[in-house]
């Protein structure tokens, strides 16, 4: 999460949506009073190399963290600030999010689940479904804009226009692998469609 008083915006960081790249780009323009939450040590190295501002004003307790939901962000920055600033988040096609998460997990030697087993693990699906909650309050979208990951270039251009910042998005993390549809077998897409029905419906995603 980044809350910039200098440029009057709040970025709510979701998972698997190029959030670290956007966070690095935005942090380059943060002033000393802005809130920048910490990311992983390896990503902090990338941020430093890219000229971004490291974690600051984020407290050292678990009360402030990268993937803070809107409710917690409002508690940190204040409701008046939230209402006055430009607030935004990025969402991604849930079918792709699930595939990306499985690929990431599959890199670990201890991970043995097939994609079909992964999709049928409620705890995994519940965690991935947290994205849509991060930018909602009591079930309602509360940020000014939810950008689509698939239209990230246009999103960055719009954020630049709204904030007046020249944003250059670094590639902090590089995904790889087959197209997400190639991972899906019988019944898999139906499970994901049901679990992420609200995001799919409201943002017009398809398999």
> Any idea what the CATH number is for the domain that residue 148 is in?
3.40.50
Distances (CA, A) of 38 to 119, 135, 148: 30, 19, 24
Kindly give the pairing relationship between strand 140-141 and strand 136-137.
antiparallel
- Domain assignment of residue 24, given as a range: 2-203
Outline where DSSP puts E strands in the chain: 2-4, 9-11, 35-36, 86-91, 136-137, 140-141, 145-148
pLDDT band at 70 (very low <50, low <70, confident <90, very high): very high
Number of domains observed in the structure of the chain: 1
Contacts of 145 (CB under 8 A, 6+ apart): 86, 87, 88, 89, 158
pLDDT band at 81 (very low <50, low <70, confident <90, very high): very high
For 163-188, b/e burial (b = at least 16 CB within 10 A) is bebebebbebeeeeeeebeebbeeeb
- Furthest-apart CA atoms within the chain: distance in Å: 52
pLDDT band at 174 (very low <50, low <70, confident <90, very high): low
Q: What is the pLDDT of residue 175?
A: 57
Q: Give the global pTM.
A: 0.89
Q: What is the pLDDT of residue 50?
A: 87
């Amino acid at each position: 999460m980044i809350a910039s008083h200098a440029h009057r915006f709040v970025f709510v960081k979701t998972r698997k949506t190029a959030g670290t790249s956007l966070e690095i780009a935005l942090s380059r323009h943060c002033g000393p009073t802005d809130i920048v939450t910490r990311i992983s040590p390896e990503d902090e190295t990338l941020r430093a190399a890219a000229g971004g501002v490291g974690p600051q004003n984020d407290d050292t307790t678990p009360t402030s963290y990268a993937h803070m939901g809107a409710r917690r962000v409002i508690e940190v920055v204040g409701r008046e600030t939230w209402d006055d600033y430009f607030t935004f988040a990025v969402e991604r096609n849930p079918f792709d999010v699930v595939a990306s998460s499985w690929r990431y997990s599959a890199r670990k030697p201890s991970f043995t689940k097939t994609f079909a087993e992964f999709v049928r693990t409620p705890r995994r699906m519940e965690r991935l479904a947290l994205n849509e909650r991060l930018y909602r309050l009591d079930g309602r979208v509360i940020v000014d804009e939810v950008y689509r990951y698939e239209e990230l270039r246009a999103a960055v251009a719009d954020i630049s226009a709204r904030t007046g910042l020249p944003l250059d998005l670094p590639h902090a993390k590089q995904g790889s692998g087959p197209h997400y549809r190639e991972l899906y077998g019988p019944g898999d897409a139906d499970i994901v469609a049901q679990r992420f029905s609200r995001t799919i419906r409201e943002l017009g995603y398809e398999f």
